[in-house]
Amino acid sequence: MSLTPMLTVTDVEATSSWLQTIFALTSVHGGPEFDMLADGEGQVVMWLHRHDADHDHAQTSGLDMSRVGSGIVFYLQTGDIEATNARASALGATFVEELHHNPLAHHREFTIKSADGYLFAAHTALQSEPSS
C-alpha cells in the first residue's frame, strides 16, 4: 500500500510549478484544475486539485480554504538537501524552520510554507551523526 495525498489549492499551476522547482518533481498530468506530481522514478507522490473545480468530489465541495493545511506537514526525502534548500531560497519560499540537524529524527531538514498554508519539510535519509 502507498499513500498519495491530494492537496486542495487555489492555484494548481502555480503550486505545481513551485513544488516541481523546489523538490525536483515532474508533472504527469498538468492543467489549471488538477495535476499529478511524480518523483524522478515516475512514482506519483501527490495530486493537486483546485478547490473550486467541479469534479464531483465530496471532499472538496464547500471546503473552507482558510483551514487548508492546518495541522499537516508533508515530509519529502531528498538526496541533496543543500540543493533543495537552495532552490527553495531562490524562489523566496517562506521558511518556517531553517536547515538544521533534527536529533530526534536523525536527519537534516528544513520546513517551508506554501501559498495555501501547507507545510513541506525536506529531509535527508537517516544519519547517525550530524553533518555540515
Provide the residue-wise pLDDT of the chain in tens; the chain has 132 residues. 678 998 988 899 999 999 999 999 999 998 999 999 999 999 999 999 887 776 555 555 555 656 666 678 899 999 999 999 999 999 999 999 999 999 999 999 999 999 988 999 999 998 766 665
R_g over Cα of the chain:
15
Rounded to an integer, what distance in angstroms lies between the CA atom of residue 2 and that of residue 108? 24
Tell which residue, 54, 62, 63, has the closest CA to residue 7.
63
